[in-house]
């Protein structure tokens, strides 16, 4: 059986500012791919009424944890709509230097106490733990995974999760999905947009790549096989996973597909019913007391 030719790729993300300086350039040069970028969902901010209903007060916190430009935009948008003045004493803890620099769109950088990590949230935790006395606000979306919150709780950080924006599915019906050989997805909301916009017959020949376990689960629930999963031990990034897949020999590809098919058809293990525990609580109603000797 000959290998399926992968030429045209649809990536469910916005196009990078400079494709030649992005990681995707490796795929273009090595595999001669045509890449099309199209974000599969829109992001909308919660209204100030919704935010008031959440009972979270921005000014009750002395520090802000910032993980994205969207978080920055919506934090200051809501502050403005709620007519709040962010005090100069407010501290900002950013996941990267680029996010820290983005704050300059809203505040004077040199007058603020701004801290940042290298890139990963786990690296930022070490910075945050040096300021444990602060009360942290964590602006985020409805779809934020719990991983970062678990790290904060493990470090015993006092924080408030504050939903300020959400993702909504996008109508992709104008996309000619049949002209693509590979579609790359990064989130469950992107999967939702995909299955709402196309019929199974439209994408039956399309190879699907997916980043993250929640994205892969959403695809499996929609009965779509993820032929290129990431991250894996062999390929910790989506770029590496695609490169690895496209570099397979015919035999390696067949073995890979058999493995994916086996995983896809595997039924979840049924948990054994929990054994009944006999409680021996002593209560006034169930315990007959011996009469005390006089």
pLDDT in tens, 154-213: 999 999 999 999 999 999 999 999 999 999 999 899 999 999 999 999 999 999 999 988
Residue-wise pLDDT tens digits, 272-285: 554 444 443 443 34
Residue % of the chain over a pLDDT of 70: 90
pLDDT value of residue 76: 97
Q: How confident is the model at residue 266 (pLDDT cuts 50, 70, 90)?
A: confident
243, 27 contact by CB (below 8 A): yes
pTM of structure: 0.70
Written out in words, the top-level CATH class of the domain with range 43-168 is: alpha beta
pLDDT digits (tens, 9 = 90+) for 66-97: 999 999 999 999 999 999 999 999 999 999 99
- Average pLDDT across the chain, whole number: 88
What's the confidence (pLDDT) of residue 281?
Answer: 41
Q: Would you say 148 and 124 are in contact if contact means Cβ atoms under 8 Å apart? A: no
Q: How high is the pLDDT of residue 269?
A: 62
What's the confidence (pLDDT) of residue 292? 47
Q: Is the pLDDT of residue 125 over 70?
A: yes
Give me the sheet containing 207-211, strands edge to edge. 34-37, 8-11, 182-185, 207-211, 228-230
Task: Using the predicted structure, report yes or no on whether residue 55 has a pLDDT greater than 70.
Answer: yes
For residue 231, is the peptide bond before it cis, meaning its omega torsion is within 30 degrees of 0? Answer: yes
């Amino acid at each position: 059986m000959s290998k399926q030719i992968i030429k045209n790729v649809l990536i469910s993300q916005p196009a990078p500012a400079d494709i030649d300086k992005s990681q995707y350039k490796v795929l273009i040069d090595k595999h001669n791919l045509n890449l099309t970028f199209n974000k599969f969902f829109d992001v909308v901010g919660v209204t100030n009424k919704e935010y008031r209903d959440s009972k979270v007060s921005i000014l009750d916190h002395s520090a802000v944890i910032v993980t994205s430009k969207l978080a920055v935009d919506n934090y200051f948008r809501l502050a403005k709509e709620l007519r709040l003045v962010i005090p100069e004493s407010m501290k900002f803890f950013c996941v990267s230097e680029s996010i820290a620099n983005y704050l300059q769109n809203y505040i004077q950088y040199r007058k603020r106490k701004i801290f940042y990590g290298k890139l990963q949230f786990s690296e930022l935790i070490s910075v945050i733990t040096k300021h444990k006395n602060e009360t942290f606000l964590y602006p985020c979306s409805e779809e934020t995974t719990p991983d970062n919150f678990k790290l904060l709780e493990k470090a015993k950080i006092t924080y408030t999760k504050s939903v300020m924006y959400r993702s909504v599915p996008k109508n992709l019906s104008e996309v000619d999905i049949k002209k693509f050989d590979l579609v790359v997805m990064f989130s469950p909301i992107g999967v939702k947009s995909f299955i709402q916009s196309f019929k199974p017959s439209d994408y039956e020949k399309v190879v699907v790549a997916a980043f993250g376990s929640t994205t892969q689960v959403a695809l499996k629930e929609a009965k779509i096989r993820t032929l290129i999963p990431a991250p894996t031990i062999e390929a910790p990034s989506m770029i590496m996973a695609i490169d690895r897949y496209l570099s397979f020999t015919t035999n390696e590809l067949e073995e890979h597909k058999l493995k994916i098919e086996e995983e896809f058809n595997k039924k979840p293990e049924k948990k054994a019913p929990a054994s009944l525990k006999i409680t021996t609580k002593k209560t006034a109603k169930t315990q007959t007391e011996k009469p005390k000797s006089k």
